[in-house]
Structure 1
Amino acid sequence: MLDNHSAEYKVPEAFLVAPFSTKRTTFKMVDIVNFEDIIRKEPFYFDMLHLASNQPCEDPPWKNSEVAVKAVIEQWKMLKPELQTSYAKRKTNLQVESASIQSISLFLLALFWSNHTPIKSLHVKDMMVSELNQKPVNCEERLLFILNKPSGYHSFIQLQQLFDELEKNFYKTLAIQRLKQKKEITANE
C-alpha cells in the first residue's frame, strides 16, 4: 500500500502485461458496492488486491465461486452481442479491442475463480493453467492464440468456445456438488 489515506496500491508486476493494462502503475481501493460494477471497471481488482495488499480481502470472489462465476458469465453474455455485431459490421480492430480485452479478462476470472483460486499473473506461462482442475481442453494454447491477436475474429470465435466449455463444466460441477450434498444430508438423517 502506498498511502493509508488514499488506499492506493501498486499494480503487481505480474498484471502489467499486454494487451491488459500496461500504463497504470497503481490502482485504488474501490468504494463501489456492486460486484458487477467492480469487475466491469477493474476486472482484476480482487486478484490484484490479493497480491498487493497485506490484508487479504474479506470474502474474495474465488471463495464464493458459485455467485462470482455466474456474475462473470452474465457480464460475458452482455458483451458478446456487442462483439458479434462489431464483427458482422466489419468494424476495425481498434473499435473491438476494448470489448475484446474485457471479454478475455472475464474469461480469465471465470477460469480461475471456478477453480477457487485467484489469478496470480496475466502471463499465460505463469498462470499454471495446466494445474487447474476445471478448464477447457487445450486451454493454455488457445489462450496464447487469443492473446496473440485479441481483437481478431478467430480469437473471438475461440474465446466464445472457451466460455461455452467453461460454462458447461462449471454448471456440471455445481450439479455434482449439489447431488453429493443431498446424498450426504439424506445419509445423515
Structure 2
Amino acid sequence: MCARNVYQVPESFRYAPFYSTGTSFTCHDHYVDLEKKVKAEPFYFDMLYLVGEKLTEVPWEHSERSVPIVFKQWKELKPQLQEGFTQRKSSKQNESALIHALSLFIVCLFWTNETYVKGLHVKNMMISDLILKPVNCEERLLFVINKPTQYHSFVQLQQLFDEIEKIYHKGQAIKQMKHEKGITHIE
C-alpha cells in the first residue's frame, strides 16, 4: 500500500484549523484496521488517495461499512466534548477534540455521498454538489470551522451529525429497497 511511511499533507488540506504548512502524516501498514486509521487520522484515506497511493481499502466506496465507524467515533468523543464545556475547561484543551470531531463530520459527509474529501477549504469542497447533506450545510460548517472552540459551534456540530446520520440511514434504506426490488424483478 504505502511506498513511503511519511507523506506531506496535500496542499488542499493545509487549512486552519486542521493543518498548517509543512505538516505530515504517517502511512500505516495494511494490517491496521479502518477504525484505528480513522481514529488516528480521519482524512487518512482521502489524503493518501490525493497523493496517488494505491488504497487497499476505499472507505467512500463502502459507506455501509465505513460511515457507521465514523458515527461510533463521534458518539465516543461527544461526551468528552460536552464535559469540556460543562467543566469550562480551557478552549485549548477542548480545541483538538473539537477539530477531530469536525474532521469526522467532514469525512462522514463525503463518504455518505460515496466520494472522497478533496480539500478542507469550505468554498472548494463543492458541498452544493453533494446529494446527501444537511440543510444549509456549507454555511453551518463554515461557522464551526471559523469558531471551533465556541460552545455554539459544538451545538451546531451535534446538529449536523444528527442530521447526516438520519440522512445516511434513510439513504441506506432506499438503497436496500432498490436492491430488493431489483432482485424481485429478476425472479
Provide TM-score, normalisation by structure 2. Answer: 0.94
Q: Which residue of 1 aligns with 2:166?
A: 168
Task: Find the counterpart in structure 1 of residue 102 from structure 2.
Answer: 104
56, 61, 71: which one pairs with 1:63?
Answer: 61
Counterpart of 1:8 in structure 2 is 6
Which runs of no fewer than 5 residues in structure 2 stay unpaired?
none
Residue in structure 2 matched with residue 50 of structure 1 by the alignment: 49
Runs of 4+ in 1 over 2 A off after TM superposition: 6-10, 23-28
Cα-Cα RMSD:
1.5
Shift of residue 41, structure 1, vs aligned partner: 1.0
Q: Which range moved further: 6-15 or 161-170?
A: 6-15
Is this contact kept in 1: 2:98–2:148, CA < 8 A? yes
Give how far 1:179 is off: 1.0
**119-128 or 7-16: which moved more?**
7-16
Spell out, residue by residue over 1:82-106, the C-alpha distance to the aligned partner (whole angstroms, 9 max, x if none).
1111111111211110110000000
Pairing partner for 1:94 from 92, 117, 142: 92
Q: Which amino acid aligns with 2:106?
A: L
Alignment of 1:1-189 (within 5 A): 4=3, 6-22=4-20, 24-31=22-29, 33-53=32-52, 55-189=53-187
- Partner amino acid for 2:37? I
Whole-angstrom distance in 1 between the partners of 2:23 and 2:146: 23
How many angstroms apart in 1 are the aligned matches of 2:61 and 2:117? 13
SS in 2 for 1:27: strand
Deviation readout 1:17-44 (Å, 9 max, x if unpaired): 1100215433232125121111111111
Q: Distance in 1 between matches of 2:67 and 2:22?
A: 26
Q: Is the 8 A contact 2:109 2:133 kept in 1?
A: yes
Does the residue aligned with 2:84 lie in a helix, a strand or coil? helix
* Segment drifting more, 57-66 vs 127-136: 57-66
Aligned residues between the structures:
185
Overall identity of the aligned pairs, in %: 52
The 2-side partners of 1:23 and 1:95 are apart by: 22
User: In 2, Cα distance between the equivalents of 1:93 and 1:128?
Assistant: 30
Answer whether contact 2:94 2:149 (CA < 8 A) is retained. yes
- Residue 160 of structure 1 aligns to a residue whose secondary structure is helix
Q: Scaled by the length of structure 1, what TM-score is found? A: 0.93
Report the 3-state secondary structure (helix = DSSP H, G, I; strand = E; otherwise coil) of the residue aligned with 1:165.
helix
**Greater CA deviation, 6-15 or 149-158?**
6-15
Q: Is the contact made by 2:8 and 2:22 (CA closer than 8 Å) also made in structure 1?
A: no
